[in-house]
Amino acid sequence: MQPDRGAPGPPRVVVIDADDRVRESLVGLLCIGDRLTVVGDTGQTGPALALVLASDPDLIVIDPRLPDVDAGLSLIEGIRAAAPRVRILVLCGSDASEQTDLTDAADGFVRKTFRPSDLVAAVIAAAVPTTG
């Protein structure tokens, strides 16, 4: 059962990154102000899908370089199948051209060389579905 979302509020975000320091930094950055709400984070593929289903986020920020999945694509495809409404922002250290399958499967892409304000803007933009 998914949680009662109640009144609309800031976009709800789950962060998935294998590097504990990076993940904790992302969570801290995204929690600044009232523009976003981080509802969970993990560094492993195993609990990621359960976390997404339990926390009902609007957006997932994911670094696809997870130790127990092939380039993150399998996890992204699993999330798409189980929670098709959830938007996905790929966070990666490599060039987008090297991540074609991932960027095609995601709703947005941002490099880890981001400025903090650029990351927040990218997360907010990716959390809002496009119409048309």
Q: pLDDT 10s per residue in the chain (132 long)?
A: 344 555 578 999 999 999 999 999 999 999 998 899 999 999 988 889 999 999 999 999 998 888 776 657 788 889 999 999 999 999 877 655 456 666 677 888 888 888 888 888 888 888 876 654
- What structural domains and CATH numbers belong to the chain? 12-127 (3.40.50.2300)
The pLDDT assigned to 91 comes to 86
> Given this model, what pLDDT does residue 38 score?
97
Q: What is the pTM of this model?
A: 0.85
Write a three-state SS string for the chain.
Answer: CCCCCCCCCCCEEEEECCCHHHHHHHHHHHHCCCCCEEEEEECCHHHHHHHHHHHCCCEEEECCCCCCCCCCHHHHHHHHHHCCCCEEEEEECCCHHHHHHHHHHCCEEEECCCCHHHHHHHHHHHHCCCCC
